[in-house]
Amino acid sequence: MLILITIWEAISKFEVFPAFMWPPLIIPNDPGGVTVIKTLVEGIISGQLLEATGASLIRLFIGFIVAVIIGLVLGFLIYKYKIVDDTLGFFVTSLQAIPNIVWMPLAILWFGLGVGSVIFIVILGAALSITITSSTAFKSVPPLLIRVASTMGSSGFHLFRTVIFKSTIPQQIAGLRLAWALAWRAVLAGELLGGSGGLGTLLDLGRSIQAMDLIFSIMIIIGVIGSFIDNFIFVRIERFVLRKWGIQTTH
Amino acid sequence: MMAEEHIILQNVHKEFQRKDHAPTIALDDVSLTIKKGEFVSLLGPSGCGKSTLLNIVAGLEKETSGSLLVNDKPIKGPGNDRIVVFQESGLFPWMSVLDNVMYGLLLKKVPKEEAKARAMDWLQKVHLGKFAQAMPHELSGGMKQRVAIARALVTDPEILLMDEPFAALDEQTRMVLHKELDKLWRETGKTIIFVTHNIREAVVLSDRIVLMKTRPGGIKNIFPVQAARPRNSSDSILIHLENRILTELEQEMEKVLKEELGSDYALKTDHLRVDPNNNMGSDI
């Protein structure tokens, strides 16, 4: 880390690239000049960066939650009805091969430049992924567990709630983690192209005013949020679940 | 009480449809009456339809034709008067041992406190009181099967169906569990149908042994076991019976092997022999 920072500063000090392309990270080149850290701190204090981060996160959460609901329902239908599997299942797999951002022009035409389009591609990206992982999870429920429950008289929704769904939880969590990463990418890509505020739009602004320090600041925020949610939320839940299920014992 | 007919199978026939093949006959015209409180083993080589027969009684599979009455009523699907213990315990890995045992009780809307007390009581009967809060993956195979048995019996079913419940266990554990199952059966008076391919296991545990045959699957012979309980596998009556069954089984196996292996079979005839010093029971 320290080495990387040193190299960065060196490149900046020796002006390998012009200053607007490669601003210093911590130590300003001229007294009181621009640095990435300064821009980051000032952006956070002034609220500009925080506001944009908040806007992006709200879209992410709305989109993600809707996607989880859609994904689980579709995944279940694919598992439950062969006809849905043959039709929708195939369709979903093909759609998933299309990168999220490709939908953006279409989303802009449908929903206009703004929040609507961004949330649309977040939902699309995450929901398709969750549909596939959850249907796979449902299909891999051990038949023995279903037989055990039904011999004790469980059926219908009770069977689903107490056995089928519970049994898929480790795989569902892994699926959500994957979908969350897709959703986070989709938010930023959407905001970059579709405007409407948020970190992505700010990034685009940084590009147009050639403010590399702002761009780097935003990239740092994106990276930190991404790895924070992954490490502190998903990895922890995953570890807890795996330990409880006895799939992996961490010691 | 003992003479009451509990399960009546009449001309039960089961076929499996296969793609591009003639249907396989798993059970051909099976008739069998099981009395209340009787311990009956279904013994036979793989492919004789013993598990299919058990699943039909459990309601997990449907007979193609014939009739099946439990307490004079036809069976419609699985019911909690007949609970199955499978070869693998099938414990729910996300539930503690206690929650696993409570599952069937809560399903029957037994109040939580009572369910807990009954589950604990049964865990103690299978000597796992200390493991109530353990997770299934922390238990050994034999312990898991004990939990599975407790989980089945806690709901007080009339019939216990056991599908090779001890087949995956090591022999020492298996012998211990034989004794415990025998004891539980005598205490509770349940009707038990026990599927196995281990002759000694069948002989030690059962009131009657139904020897099954293959192609098509069905009943070959029925042997009553008249030794006093608790039994000891070195009892001469049992050893004699074991040999009689083995002799019949050899004929059956010979038929199967001849069909499967054709002329190569001659080399393998000596493989099915009882070793009198082997206390573990002979497998098929």
Which chain B residue is nearest to residue A241, measuring alpha carbons?
B94
Q: Which two tokens stand for residue B171?
A: 């022999």
**How large is the average pLDDT for residues B226-247?**
79
**How large is the average pLDDT for residues A206-231?**
85
**Is A156 within 8 Å of chain B by CB?**
no
Lowest mean pLDDT among A177-191, A202-216, B147-161, B256-270: B256-270
Q: Given this model, what pLDDT does residue B1 score?
A: 44
Residues of A in contact with B108 (CB under 8 A): 153
What SS3 class is residue A23?
coil
Asked whether the beta carbons of residue A145 and residue B90 sit closer than 8 angstroms, the reply is yes
Q: How far is A80 from chain B (nearest CA, A)?
A: 18
Percent of chain A whose pLDDT exceeds 70: 98
Which chain B residue is nearest to residue A144, measuring alpha carbons?
B90
Q: How far is A154 from chain B (nearest CA, A)?
A: 7
Q: What is the pLDDT of residues B258-281, one digit of tens each?
A: 777 766 665 555 555 555 555 555
Quickly state the pLDDT bin for B283 (edges 50, 70, 90). low
Supply φ then ψ for residue A168, to 5 degrees: -90, -5
Give the one of B84, B88, B108 whose C-beta lies nearest to A151's C-beta: B84
Per-residue three-class SS string for chain B: CCCCEEEEEEEEEEEECCCCCCCEEEEEEEEEEEECCCEEEEECCCCCCHHHHHHHHHCCCCCCEEEEEECCEECCCCCCCEEEECCCCCCCCCCCHHHHHHHHHHHCCCCHHHHHHHHHHHHHHCCCHHHCCCCHHHCCHHHHHHHHHHHHHCCCCCEEEEECCCCCCCHHHHHHHHHHHHHHHHHHCCEEEEEECEHHHHHHHCCEEEEEECCCCEEEEEEECCCCCCCCCCCHHHHHHHHHHHHHHHHHHHHHHHHHHHHHHHHHHHHCCCCCCCCCCCEC
> Is residue B150 packed enough to be buried (19+ CB in 10 Å), middle (13-18) or exposed (0-12)?
buried
Q: Given this model, what pLDDT does residue A251 score?
A: 44
Quickly state the pLDDT bin for B190 (edges 50, 70, 90). confident
* Dihedral sign (CA A234, A236, A239, A244): negative
Q: Given this model, what pLDDT does residue B277 score?
A: 53
Asked whether the beta carbons of residue B83 and residue A151 sit closer than 8 angstroms, the reply is yes
**First-to-final CA distance of chain B:** 35
Q: Given this model, what pLDDT does residue B270 score?
A: 52
Nearest to B34 by CA among B159, B200, B135, B130: B159
pTM exceeds 0.95 for this model: no
CA distance B179 to B183: 6
